């Protein structure tokens, strides 16, 4: 029987923002695949981490912290095979009144920090015989209008361009790809969608009938980091369950006719 291409035993992976939410789901997928996983975040995880997973306290917006996370991974495991730039996000903010300081902070977290982390990871991967893989977690907010999160949407759009650029510059040793995530059910879903009924109602608007689970995003990251994607670089995989139904369909008075 052929070796399992999704078995990453002995590989070392960094997942930024990997202690909860989408990042934890990604980290868990790599851990189950046999990899050593280093997760980083500003705050300690609320529960103890399982075997093959370790934590580094870091703020990825700080270049020195980014350097320390990569160095710690190499120190612990002797190598770095995969970086998943997951840390990011933004609270809502009115585009007409948001402060320049706020916008700069959001762009730093969602665009500049992934670049710096990628630079540090690339320096290690280029020196390895088999190179490495970088996966940037983007958002549908970077592909469509993003009301009340203008800086976030713009930063995520920039992350897609950054992905393509680095894929060209750092080939052939390092592959760089992006996963564009849609709505994902996490510990904070109730803040955006309300109670279980509200979460289910929002999920029902997705063609596949539900919100993504963090592990759904993790599955695609695992594929992109695996030998199955050995000829995939500079690519964007959109993971949004089919997207959003065009709003005009609710307003149109055409019965069941196609438009």
Q: What are phi and psi of 225, to 5 degrees?
A: -85, -10
Residue 152 annotated in active site: yes
Provide Rg for the chain, Cα atoms.
Answer: 19
The helix (run of H) or strand (run of E) holding residue 175 is: strand 174-181
d(CA 65, CA 58): 5
Measured in whole angstroms, how far is the alpha carbon of residue 1 from the centre of its chain? 33
Of 34, 207, 225, the C-alpha closest to 135 is 225
Q: Among the options 152, 192, 193, 248, which is catalytic?
A: 152
Examine residue 172 and say whether the peptide bond preceding it is cis (omega within 30 degrees of 0).
Answer: yes
Hey, which residues are catalytic here?
152
């Amino acid at each position: 029987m052929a070796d399992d291409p999704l078995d990453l035993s002995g590989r070392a992976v960094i997942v930024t923002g990997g202690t909860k939410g989408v990042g934890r789901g990604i980290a868990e997928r790599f851990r189950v695949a046999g990899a050593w996983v280093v997760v980083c975040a500003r705050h300690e995880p609320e529960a103890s981490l399982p075997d093959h997973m370790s934590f580094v306290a870091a703020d990825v917006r700080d270049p020195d912290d980014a350097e320390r996370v990569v160095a710690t991974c190499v120190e612990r495991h002797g190598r770095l095979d995969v970086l998943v730039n997951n840390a990011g996000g933004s609270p809502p903010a009115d585009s007409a009144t948001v402060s320049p300081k706020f916008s700069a902070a959001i762009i730093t977290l969602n665009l500049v920090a992934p670049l710096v982390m990628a630079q540090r990871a690339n320096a290690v991967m280029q020196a390895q015989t088999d190179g490495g893989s970088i996966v940037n977690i983007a958002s549908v907010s970077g592909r469509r209008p993003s009301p009340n999160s203008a800086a976030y949407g713009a930063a995520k759009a920039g992350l897609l361009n950054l992905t393509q650029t680095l894929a060209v510059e750092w080939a052939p040793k390092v592959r760089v790809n992006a996963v564009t995530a849609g709505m994902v059910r996490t510990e904070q879903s109730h803040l955006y969608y309300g109670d279980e009924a509200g979460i289910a109602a929002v999920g029902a608007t997705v063609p596949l009938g539900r919100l993504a689970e963090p592990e759904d995003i993790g599955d695609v990251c695992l594929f992109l980091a695996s030998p199955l994607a050995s000829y995939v670089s500079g690519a964007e995989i959109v993971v949004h369950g089919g997207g959003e139904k065009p709003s005009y369909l609710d307003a149109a008075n055409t019965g069941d006719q196609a438009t």
